Structure 1
Amino acid sequence: MTKSNSVVPMLSWLCISLWLASVQAESPAFDRTIQPLLAKHCVECHGAEKPKADIRLDGPVPNLVDAKTRERWEKVYAMLVRGEMPPSEKPKLTTDELETLTKWIRQEVERGVLADRGGAGRTTMRRLTRVEYARLLQDVLGLHFANVPLQLHEKLPNDPQNPTPVNDGDLLTFQSLHLKTYVELAERAVTATLATEERPRPFEYRIEARGLTPSTIYATHRGFLSKFPPLDNNKTRLAPVTIGSADCTPDGAVRLPPIFRVDNYLGRDKINVGSWYISLPYFEPHGVLHLRIRAGAVFPSGEGAPILRVSLYNNVDNERFGKQVASFPVTNPADSLRDFDVEIPFDLIDFPYVLFQRSKHVSVRITNDYMPIADRGPPPSGEKGKPAPPWPWDEPQLVIDHVEVTGSGAGDWPPRRHRELLAAGDGIENERDRAGAILASVAAKAWRRRVEKDELAPFVALYEKRRIAGDNRDAALQQPLTAVLTSPFALYAVERKSEQITPLSGIELANRLSLFLWGTGPDRELLELANDSRGTLRDKQILAAQVERMLNDPRSHVFTEDFVRRLLSLDRVETDPIEFNLVQKTFHSHQVAALREERLKNDLALEPVRFFEHLLKENRSLYELIGSEQLVVNDRLARYYGIDEPAGADFRPVAAPPDRCAGWLTMAGVLAAASRGNKESTILRGVYLLDRILGESSGTPPGNVEPLEVQAKADAKRRQLTIREQVKLHTSLNTCQLCHRKIDPLGFVWTDFDYLGQKIVPKPDKPLDLNCSGTFPDGRSFANLDEFASLLRGKSTTDRYQFGEVLIRSLTRYALGRQLTLHDDPLIADLVAAARRDGWRLRNVIISIVLSKSFNQG
């Protein structure tokens, strides 16, 4: 081991040894002062026999270097300062006793943090989340394709599911499974970018709707173009184009009705019906297939825009398989046609391409994937043996004028992405130097910093090894590029480890900022500021201006979606088996109802995110998140809420109806996430509000407790009780009261909303108990949701539960990429005080976090 390599671990062990020595030196003070206090007030409930909440306080001096031990004592501290410990029926600590005990906990927790994290109070190495790493690959390799979103992160192992919205470096471990899958994904991405084989045979087809000759075959119209551009040796190939039951416009363009309803058939698995089915002569499915679709739409009154859906599709030997690759609304009218580009990267999309080889065709299907946004009754049916009556509803239609199809071998060769990736080597004759320049360029982007020449030596050596093995000069770059993209510098956000708190370097600050707001590495402008030797980026005005610029950039959607979805657990809406009962309202068709429900769930999960973005864009008060006269909805959600507007699939601000004026608290997606598909969800809602809105852990429930509805089914007497009575009976045991006395009174605030977030309207012949009153854990009471939200706003700076502070804590955790400790309390106090002076403006809060010492120092 070299001297430079041995110094750091020796210093780290020295710090820990000195801390442990200091603890041992002070243990007599613990024995004389702290232990007697614990024995007097705490050990009765938290001793060796059945300690409450699994917290024992009867042992020797605790080792707070251990993170789990430290977390346990932080919970003790929180309960002491909130007056929850000792419980109300036990003798209280005197003021002097409380000060002695809390001061000791604070000091020991801070010292534990410093010893655990090398004196910096931070995580100096954090593995990128799987989403961040997938985005890194796309940015470095230029893997962005027109209208085709890649989900590369789905090919990587799931990250730990943490209940708090924090990309916590302590939880993001790295195991052998990670290495295998990360290398496989990087290798696949590099292979998809580099064109190392011979140029594929180029082809270009232009398929005109008005040039097709229809003939009836199997209830479809099949047409063939008589002329295509020549391929090889001036031979002409035909591309069969199948068009389902479709009308033509007066100028000859094709109208595609929604795929769910063609010839009164409800579903979208009937072969080729209602679609363009482009079947191209077989070619090896590598590279990028480019479609340019000239299209418009017909919009009936009160309906949304048709959805243009592109799929890879095959139906041969009864092996039918479809894979959606693109889906987007067409919002321009049919009399104003426009081009829509779709780039299909074969190498990055999972599809059984062997089916194409069997059929000797490569097939792409274009459909109108519109789903109704309004309820539909059962479809009309006529007498047996007679034609069905006319369809009573007008649906949006997709109008297609023509489609151009271009193969990966057409145009310039090698492809643009290949040329851009290797551009750093242009003009360099020496192969070794060329490879070094290319690897240095890619490493600088992937590692998000300047790269020293000696760091690249192993990667250049790997390149030379592949050249000796016979690879051409571009193919020989595949392995070293994969190695660069899977090195620790790419997989981890790395910061210097220091025994003293010191300012971050410019590049460390730039990386921390870009991962916070964009979930990827810095762009060129941010890097130039970071690498300025004058420390330009650390200037507060320049740093604040960068935050403004980055928040205005579309890439900030990554931050808003990830933060809000995790804070409010909105993924539950899409993944939990929540039944929206749409079958009877959607032609009595399970299949179409399932598709309609899928899109409704997606919109419900997006609404709180889009609302947060709206407030952030206009720099409005964060308290509008729990009280606003506006909603941000699209046409589907407007129908769900009974609002006449807006039209179209885009989210936009509208006036909120009276029962939707509490921001997140009255959004159906939030209520659905809190209820989790349970009709009797009072306790679940209480847990959700305590954890997500009040920012306090609800604890871990016993594993053998049945939900209320299960208990009611098994006990006829319980079924006769009101929800409040059932909850009271459910939580009557003393062991349950510790948590449920905080949880249950909160859950009643949503009593007048059902588990789908819809307002409950009592029927005259079936009265309901819609009592929404309850209490906060600190004893303050509320009569309804309005009073609940009012208490959350906090009339006094000393009020215990203030939504503004809770949100600032969550944003700060997310920005720092770690859990907060008692050590961070002064930071939160400063951020809250600044926000209060500034009117709680959301954008300014984020700027304040970035300008704080904790964000700028390590």
Structure 2
Amino acid sequence: MRFPALLLSTALLLATCTSLWADPAQHQAMFDKQVKPFLTKYCNDCHAGEFAESGIDFASFGKAEEVMTSGRKTWQKALSQMTVGAMPPSDEAQPSEEELKQALKWIRGALSDYSCDGPVDPGRETIRRLNRVEYQNTIRDLVGVEFKASEEFPADDVGYGFDNIGDVLSLSPLLLEKYYDAAVTIAGKAIVLDPSSLIRSERLKNFKLKDGSKSDDRISFPSHNIAKTDFEIDSPGEYKLSIRAYGTRAGDQLPNMHVKLDDQDKDFAVEALKGKEQNYEITKRFSKGKHHLEISFTNDHYDPNNPNRNKRDRNLIVTSVKLVGPPKITPESYPESHRKIFIAYPGQDGITAEVAARRILTRFASRAFRRPATADEVNRLYTLVASAQADGENFEASVRDGVVAILCSPNFLFRVEMDESKSPVRQLTEYELASRLSYFLWSSAPDHELLTLAYEGKLRSQLDQQIDRMLKSPKNSALVENFAGQWLQLRNLEDVKPDRRKFRGFTPALAKAMRQETELFFESIVKEDRSVLDLVGADYTYLNESLAKHYGVKDVKGEEFRKVSLKEKGRGGILTQASILTVTSNPTRTSPVKRGKWILENVLGTPPPDPPADVPTLEAQKELTGTLREQMAQHMANPSCASCHARMDPIGFALENFDAVGAFRTKDEGSKIDASGELPGGIKFEGASGLRQVILNEHRDEFVRAFSEKMLTYALGRGVEFFDMCAIDAIQDELERNDYRFSALVKAIVHSDPFQKRRTN
């Protein structure tokens, strides 16, 4: 970096300039006196007018307040580029250290200028379509049907690192068609149209033999014998008795099986041999009540002197006896998916088909829409049902049409929050709050308890208790898979293809174990309500035998994961987990740049700018020689590369003791690894352990804020804006007051204004 101490001195200056931004006139005066001349001298040749590069037109900013409002994103980009020395370009006139320091001071101060005393702005939230995971989970909880949305729907777009961002969750005509097809499929799986399809078979057991012995459902007849049992018929009708059997042969007859079913007798010559059993069947109409069955072997034959050993002994073996027929059809006979929908039937308690249908539609639509269905909505749905009945469909089939319509409704497919208030900001209704909370923590619709509290108007007053309950629920695995899976880029493991010639031990099974380790680790933070600082500083992880072997950890046997101490093993927290180390590497080698960039962006919240388009990759620079670290040093000789690499590389090199698939090493291609580093400002560290301590001791606030911003982004389904800074300050303060407990973070987010309120315009 051209000015190694500049960032630290600028930060110290900012600590003393708070009052400056409170005076708009003074603010404008400094903008006119210091910033405009700086822009004119060093920036406007490229960034002014109609054809300004990258669309950044500094000449369009005449007022200081525009920097803090409409131009905030533009100036944040400029600040990022200027901070790392990427702008002005190295081949252009360069400002002095004092000029740059004063410009950065003003820009940072302007971008940090926000008041928490004025009106609350909870931000603009685009109406959010359910993404694939949310759709799948919602269908599971609403209907009880497993539907693989990832196989049926196209992939969701990603914004701010997550796939639940409203601005990018579009609805194409193709997806709309797939939603209809899915609704038809789901309703077809959930609803039983023909009760006769519920016929089930029952194994008859508890046979008593004539010689006094007993048998379960397998009966051996080595000699003449009779097996007897009684059974009950609850629903009269035609049944089929199916006896599966085989025999061994002797003499000139096949084994004879005599079956007596109540007063009906039938003999079967059993041709089947062992391994080729056959079913021998009797069909009979049964009345309700007790019935009697006897099975006997009537023609035993034994010839021990027969030269053919396969014809010495005639026996009969019955392997099973099944009774198949119409069961007594009761509400409990139907699958759970059917019962979740059909809460009423015509004739039940004397109600009509219309009353039953309206009850079903009202309840199902209310659960699907995540708020009470209106009378008008139910009327329109019932019109569909009545029309289907008029066309000759039975009750179940007509209701199915209503269910399909509900699953195609925007009120189901989108998380709708209607704005009827005339004020610019309103508080969410309790139903809207329940929906935001459940999709945040469970990626699914609110359950019965949340909706009941919302109906009673008690949810907001019991939020903390509900959050505790939800974090302990098995459904919190959604937070692990969908938040942590994207924040830590675990989903990318499926696409990583390390060079098999260099990393022979890397297999799909090992990649799966890597992901599972990180998910179990993050889950332990959630379930045990540990400090979020443990994400970086924990001295334990979860390993099975194959991953422990990969790590060089002994005494872990079997493929079941268990908690393992990492004290004095050189690892700890997410930074040294193989999943992270693998997704931030190249196929053939480690990448200090990718690893450093990943930590700056995801752990410290200070992402570096994108590299200039004309900078070649390391592999493309054939003239570079020596170790990877030496090649990187030569690469940094390019001034347009040096500024960013001064931040990324020391962080990435701290992890060089771990190869491209996360295995520990001390040498790289025969050369001893140097894992030391030094950050701008003079902070030195050694290896991964040193880097972890620097983050926890010197950059704790940055990590906590970055993690809070990531989770707030996920919870809100939108990017964090400048007007969210007050909320983030409060969230960070609440975390510190509660020892950085994970539940404290969730509660602080849920209680925050951006989560609890919305703009109405």
Same fold, TM exceeding 0.5?
A: yes
Residue by residue over 1:600-632, the C-alpha shift from the partner in whole angstroms, topping out at 9 and shown as x without a partner, is 211201212211211222222211111222112
Which residue of structure 2 lines up, in the alignment, with residue 573 of structure 1?
A: 493
Where in structure 2 are the equivalents of 1:225-240 lying within 5 Å? Answer: 234=240, 236=242
Q: What percent of counterpart residues are identical?
A: 27
Match of 2:599 among 657, 671, 689: 689
Which residue of structure 1 lines up, in the alignment, with residue 338 of structure 2?
A: 418
Contact 1:794 1:801 in 2 (8 A): no
Q: Secondary structure at the match of 2:128?
A: strand
Where in structure 2 are the equivalents of 1:659-698 lying within 5 Å? Answer: 659-698=569-608
C-alpha distance in structure 1 between counterparts of 2:464 and 2:239, whole Å:
62
Residues 1:439 and 2:370 aligned together: no
Match of 1:132 among 131, 134, 149: 134
Contact 1:671 1:756 in 2 (8 A): yes
Q: Secondary structure at the match of 1:653?
A: strand
Where in structure 2 are the equivalents of 1:208-219 lying within 5 Å? Answer: none
Contact 2:531 2:741 in 1 (8 A): yes
Which residue of structure 2 lines up, in the alignment, with residue 785 of structure 1?
A: 688
Q: Specify the code of the residue in structure 1 equivalent to 2:583.
A: A
Q: Secondary structure at the match of 1:802?
A: helix
Where in structure 2 are the equivalents of 1:387-786 lying within 5 Å? Answer: 412=329, 413-425=333-345, 427=349, 429-497=351-419, 499-533=423-457, 536-539=458-461, 542-579=462-499, 597-656=507-566, 658-701=568-611, 707-708=617-618, 710-711=619-620, 715=622, 717-718=623-624, 720-762=625-667, 767-776=670-679, 780-786=683-689
Shift of 1:441: 1.0
Shift of 1:691: 2.0
Residue by residue over 1:461-508, the C-alpha shift from the partner in whole angstroms, topping out at 9 and shown as x without a partner, is 111222222222211222321121121111111224455333221111
Q: Specify the code of the residue in structure 2 equivalent to 1:550.
A: M
Q: Secondary structure at the match of 2:494?
A: helix
C-alpha distance in structure 2 between counterparts of 1:615 and 1:691, whole Å:
21
Contact 1:628 1:661 in 2 (8 A): no
C-alpha distance in structure 1 between counterparts of 2:77 and 2:178, whole Å:
38
Shift of 1:176: 1.3
Shift of 1:169: 1.3
What value does the CA root-mean-square deviation take over the aligned residues?
4.5
Contact 1:778 1:800 in 2 (8 A): no
Contact 2:542 2:563 in 1 (8 A): yes
Question: Structure 1 residues 463 and 660 mapped into 2: Cα distance closer, same or farther (>3 Å)?
Answer: farther
Matched pairs, number: 629
Q: Specify the code of the residue in structure 2 equivalent to 1:601.
A: A
Contact 2:343 2:360 in 1 (8 A): yes
Q: Secondary structure at the match of 1:474?
A: helix
Contact 2:80 2:608 in 1 (8 A): no
Which residue of structure 2 lines up, in the alignment, with residue 142 of structure 1?
A: 144
Moved more, 636-645 or 122-131: 636-645
Q: Secondary structure at the match of 2:415?
A: strand
Unaligned runs of 5+ in 2: 1-26, 206-214, 221-228, 247-274, 281-318
Q: Specify the code of the residue in structure 2 equivalent to 1:483.
A: A
Contact 1:573 1:676 in 2 (8 A): no
Contact 2:470 2:476 in 1 (8 A): yes
Which residue of structure 2 lines up, in the alignment, with residue 123 of structure 1?
A: 125
Q: Secondary structure at the match of 1:135?
A: helix
Q: Specify the code of the residue in structure 1 equivalent to 2:736.
A: R
Question: Structure 1 residues 486 and 853 mapped into 2: Cα distance closer, same or farther (>3 Å)?
Answer: same
C-alpha distance in structure 2 between counterparts of 1:423 and 1:848, whole Å:
39
Shift of 1:210: 11
Residues 1:840 and 2:740 aligned together: yes
Which residue of structure 2 lines up, in the alignment, with residue 73 of structure 1?
A: 75
Contact 1:579 1:677 in 2 (8 A): yes
Shift of 1:736: 3.6
Question: Structure 1 residues 65 and 96 mapped into 2: Cα distance closer, same or farther (>3 Å)?
Answer: closer
Shift of 1:684: 2.1
Q: Secondary structure at the match of 1:622?
A: coil
Q: Specify the code of the residue in structure 2 equivalent to 1:711.
A: A
Q: Secondary structure at the match of 2:426?
A: coil
Which residue of structure 2 lines up, in the alignment, with residue 389 of structure 1?
A: none
Which residue of structure 1 lines up, in the alignment, with residue 201 of structure 2?
A: 203
Which residue of structure 2 lines up, in the alignment, with residue 829 of structure 1?
A: 729
Match of 1:170 among 167, 172, 176: 167
Question: Structure 1 residues 524 and 67 mapped into 2: Cα distance closer, same or farther (>3 Å)?
Answer: farther
Q: Which has the higher relative contact order, 1 or 2, with Cα contacts under 8 A spaced 6 or more apart?
A: 2
Shift of 1:642: 3.0
TM-score by length of 1: 0.64
Shift of 1:556: 0.7
Residue by residue over 1:300-348, the C-alpha shift from the partner in whole angstroms, topping out at 9 and shown as x without a partner, is xxxxxxxxxxxxxxxxxxxxxxxxxxxxxxxxxxxxxxxxxxxxxxxxx
C-alpha distance in structure 1 between counterparts of 2:576 and 2:706, whole Å:
19
Question: Structure 1 residues 648 and 179 mapped into 2: Cα distance closer, same or farther (>3 Å)?
Answer: same
C-alpha distance in structure 2 between counterparts of 1:723 and 1:630, whole Å:
30
Residue by residue over 1:400-442, the C-alpha shift from the partner in whole angstroms, topping out at 9 and shown as x without a partner, is xx99999998785443421331114554632222222111111
Contact 1:124 1:494 in 2 (8 A): no
Question: Structure 1 residues 109 and 44 mapped into 2: Cα distance closer, same or farther (>3 Å)?
Answer: farther
Contact 1:793 1:802 in 2 (8 A): no
Which residue of structure 2 lines up, in the alignment, with residue 589 of structure 1?
A: none
**Which structure has the larger Rg over C-alpha atoms?**
2
Which residue of structure 2 lines up, in the alignment, with residue 90 of structure 1?
A: 95
C-alpha distance in structure 1 between counterparts of 2:639 and 2:53, whole Å:
11
Residue by residue over 1:20-42, the C-alpha shift from the partner in whole angstroms, topping out at 9 and shown as x without a partner, is xxxxxx99999999755533554
Residue by residue over 1:510-559, the C-alpha shift from the partner in whole angstroms, topping out at 9 and shown as x without a partner, is 111111111111111111221224xx2222xx211111111011111101
Question: Structure 1 residues 578 and 50 mapped into 2: Cα distance closer, same or farther (>3 Å)?
Answer: farther
Moved more, 434-443 or 36-45: 36-45
Question: Structure 1 residues 411 and 561 mapped into 2: Cα distance closer, same or farther (>3 Å)?
Answer: farther
Unaligned runs of 5+ in 1: 1-25, 145-149, 214-226, 241-275, 282-401, 586-592
Q: Specify the code of the residue in structure 2 equivalent to 1:447.
A: F
Question: Structure 1 residues 857 and 239 mapped into 2: Cα distance closer, same or farther (>3 Å)?
Answer: farther
Question: Structure 1 residues 32 and 804 mapped into 2: Cα distance closer, same or farther (>3 Å)?
Answer: closer
